[in-house]
Chain A
Amino acid sequence: MRARGIPRRWAWAAIAFLLGSLLVGLGIGPVPLRAGPIAESALSHLPLLHVHSPLSAPQEAILWQLRAPRVVLGALVGGMLAVAGSAYQGVFRNPLADPYLLGVAAGAGLGATLAIDYAGGTRELVPLAAFLGATASVACAYVLGRTVGGMRTTASLVLAGVTIAAFMTAAQTFVQQQRQQSLREVYAWLLGGLSTASWHDCILAGPYVVASATVILLHRRLLDVLSVGDDEAASLGIDVGRVRLVLVIAATVGTAAAVAVSGLIGFVGIIVPHTVRLLVSTSYRAVVPLAFVVGGGFLVLTDVLARTVLAPSELPIGVVTAFLGAPFFALVLRTTRVGR
């Protein structure tokens, strides 16, 4: 007798989905590339294999300097948002919790707007400012929630998050309206996107994403324990407050890093974990790892649509995640057993 982990066929399906998405993301664009040459080119970059890339120099540059960082960043950001969403849903035992619940989005928005408006012409400070704004706003929410609610309930923490988010959003709007000339740029950042993705962004966000996702993954069994409520989890020997703090920190740092390099991308953190729950299992042993893989693939695919539908101009990716995700999610809801 054992707890269900990830059923093998679902594990393979999720990995195939991610790999397929990556190939589509690398191949589709104004200069189409097929899977075979992409694979050969990839092998040619490995030492000792002596494989020759069939691609021309411009094709090589498009593949490795434009598309590859973009799909890698998409996979990292999508995976992180989906994992953080599952963690928040487990910690708050609330199916509507998303990674932005405690004010990450509002804080990042304020940080980014300040950096765009006041850091002169340079944009290099935007990710750092967004990251700091996001983490600071969750820290404020946590301290506020703790002082008013004593951590007895998660409701006080959620309310504190709503309060801080409202304040940060007001401040952000105030700063934004003062500088009309950068309105368009601020707006573009808020809508989120991967159009400026570079290897530099991957290196910036990657370590945080990997560390945060790993911490959450290691807590997958404890997330299941939390599902019986604070009291019963405590009577099973869990220090609920500490587990919640560790998970909130991990989810916040990971989300802040993702948001810092991609702006505010909505919906992934809710739709991906729930799709896994409805199709595979509600146990976090399955939800956390599958959400990372599927979330990554999902965001890469939506990004392909975002840059092809209105080519040569790009749609904000958040529009696509919702436009594509909502009907798909409705379909999943309809075709699976209700009440699970």
Chain B
Amino acid sequence: MSAIALHEVSVTLGQTEAVRRVSASVARGEWLTLIGPNGAGKTTILRALAGLVSFTGAIELEGRALRTSSRRQIARRIALVPQKPETPGALTVAEYVLLGRTPHIGYLATESRADERAAAAALERLVLSEFADRPLDSLSGGELQRVVLARAIAQDASILLLDEPTTALDLGRQQHVLELVDDLREEGGLTVVAALHDLTLAAQYADRLLLLDAGRVIGDGSARDVLDEERIGALYDAKVRVVREEREIFVLPERRR
């Protein structure tokens, strides 16, 4: 049974069809990265998976139809790290990460000892324990990104959705965050679906790439299969060179003239 299965999923936002008849599946423990130009539908697919937009077609999470699952049931399976997370500045890191326990806490209840332990473990895993009492507005961009990831980890879901997790980060922080996600995946059998703009990072960290254009899937496979110089150049309207080395593949932008 796959962790995620999409059958002919379409999403209409206002007048535009943002996602058109997308079918795909993600195996347990697999890392799938969605790539494609701005407006290709990457974020919308992630939002559909998290149950945040209505769709036609069918989505199954671990064999269960998303449509008939309650919000809480979805939140126990899927944790979403949005592209621009809301991080109320006055909340402390500990309080923010504890919010991740919400799907495990009764409607009007407060956190149990087990919830506090789970949040503390997430902080420790992301080397954030010493930040626990710091307000969010005192953190740097890289620290903040780790805190948001810690909240998602504390949620204890088996599927992690990452929407452009590296946009605000410098080169080193980008690698740190993605390595961290990869470690978590290996430790806990986490299934990862990410949307990334950086095609080199996408190639380096995903098992499989799903190439999207105007809401449609136009490529599905390994980085070597999908990242074709001519196709990427045409699709992004960019001049690029795809460098294929023995173990890795790099997508490099070139000056147009």
The reply to whether B132 and A340 form a contact with Cβ atoms under 8 Å apart is: no
Check if A1 sits within 8 Å of B90, measured CB to CB: no
Docked Cα-Cα span, A231 to B48, in Å, equals 12
Point out the residue from A4, A231, A238, A277 that lies within 8 Å of B95, measured CB to CB.
Answer: A4
Say whether A237 faces chain B, with CB atoms less than 8 Å apart: yes
- B105 touching A221 by the CB < 8 A rule? yes
Q: A257-305: which residues lie under 8 A (CB-CB) from chain B?
A: 277, 281-283, 285
Q: Decide if A2 touches B116 in the complex (CB within 8 Å).
A: yes
How long is the Cα–Cα vector from A222 to B72 in the complex, in angstroms? Answer: 14
Q: Does A60 contact B (CB under 8 A)?
A: no
A236 CB to nearest B CB, Å: 4
Check B82–A234 contact: CB distance below 8 A: no
CA gap between A219 and B47 in the complex, in Å? 26
* Chain B, 70-95, CB within 8 A of any chain A CB: 70-76, 78-80, 82, 85-92, 94-95
CB A187 to nearest CB in B, in angstroms, measures: 40
Kindly list chain A residues whose C-beta atoms are within 8 Å of the C-beta of B100: 236
Other than A222-B108, A340-B135, give 5 A-B pairs with Cβ distance below 8 A.
A3-B110, A227-B86, A228-B85, A231-B82, A235-B75
Residue A185 CB within 8 A of the other chain:
no
Once the chains are docked, how many angstroms separate the CA of A228 from the CA of B148?
A: 11
> A218 vs B75: C-alpha distance in the bound complex, in angstroms?
22
A-B CB pair tally, cutoff 8 Å: 92
**Any B CB within 8 A of the CB of A225:** yes
Chain A residues with CB under 8 Å of chain B are: 1-4, 218-219, 221-222, 224-225, 227-229, 231-232, 234-239, 277, 281-283, 285, 339-340
- Say yes or no: A228 contacts B88, CB within 8 Å: yes
Tell me, in angstroms, the Cα distance from A4 to B108 when the chains sit together.
17
A1 to B155, CA, bound (A): 16
B52 touches A234 (CB 8 A): yes
Contact A227-B71, Cβ < 8 Å, known A236-B103, A237-B102: no
CB-CB nearest in chain A for B95: A3
- Bound complex: CA A237 to CA B105 (Å): 10
From A219, A228, A281, A340, B99 is in contact (CB under 8 Å) with A228
Collect the chain B residues with CB atoms within 8 Å of residue A224's CB.
91, 95, 99
Considering the complex of A and B, which 10 residue pairs feature the smallest CB-CB distances, nearest first? A237-B75, A237-B103, A282-B90, A237-B72, A236-B102, A229-B86, A1-B120, A235-B80, A228-B86, A218-B108
A235 — which chain B residues lie within 8 A by C-beta? 50-52, 75, 78-80, 82
Given contacts A1-B123, A2-B94, A237-B76, is CB(A339)–CB(B89) below 8 Å? yes
